[in-house]
Amino acid sequence: MQVGCHLPVYGPAATRDVLLGFARRMEALGYNSLWASDHIVIPYSIASRYPYNPTGDFPLAPATSFLEPLVALGLVAGVTERVRLGTTVLVLPHRHPVLAAKMLATLDHLAPGRVILGAGVGWMKEEIELFGVPYERRGAWSDEAIRVMKACWRDERVSHRGRSPRRARSRSGSAATRRARSGASPSSGTAGTPPFRTRRR
């Protein structure tokens, strides 16, 4: 059995000193993984039902500090050596897939073999539609985003023509992207598999 814990990425504990001290201590105690969840904004008015408690009310106030997960994991990567770094989950409609692919490839380049991508479609309509993604299409949008991200990690030249993320034709051969394509999978440790585990939730 492997045991992980959630990083203090929101609320009063979401400070540099607490985050770094927590990460170092959890690695020293032998935890296998450290995780960060994802909200970009907390709207003042939320009609969407929160699916993870009986009342359906989101438990955090709009003024709550909430760190961006990939930036927070990058900070943690610099003070740890062994522990895995994961997202629980990265809400795909919050970011253009090319940007998300670049950020994840950079994190994997700086923390080789330690990145776990938990990916989801999100539940908060108000937050998702802020980024121009229709709530009712978030599943299809996320499926297409995953295809774009995998292509960025896999191919030297990427050309995508789809309905959801904007069309893109570009070279993906940065050092960080090549590292993400060439190594073993951080999720499975099996050479030749996609570099990050993705699961729709």
CA dihedral 104, 106, 112, 117 (to 10 degrees): 0
Angstrom distance (rounded) from CA 50 to CA 102 = 30
CA dihedral 86, 87, 92, 94 (to 10 degrees): -130
pLDDT for the residue numbered 100: 98
* End-to-end Cα distance, the chain: 23
pLDDT for the residue numbered 162: 72
Residue 189 scores a pLDDT above 50: no
Angstrom distance (rounded) from CA 183 to CA 191 = 7
Q: Which tens digit of pLDDT belongs to each residue from 123-145?
A: 999 999 999 999 999 999 999 99
Higher pLDDT, 177 or 39: 39
Q: Which tens digit of pLDDT belongs to each residue from 43-64?
A: 999 999 999 999 999 999 999 9
Q: Which fold has domain 4-182?
A: TIM Barrel (3.20.20)
Higher pLDDT, 51 or 197: 51
Least confident interval from 17-21, 42-46, 49-53, 191-195: 191-195
Q: Which tens digit of pLDDT belongs to each residue from 66-118?
A: 999 999 999 999 999 999 999 999 999 999 999 999 999 999 999 999 999 99
Encoded tokens for 188: 């499975």
Alpha helices in the chain (DSSP H): 16-28, 69-77, 97-110, 125-130, 138-154, 175-182
Cβ proximity of 120 and 143 under 8 Å: no
Q: Which tens digit of pLDDT belongs to each residue from 143-170?
A: 999 999 999 999 989 887 777 655 445 5
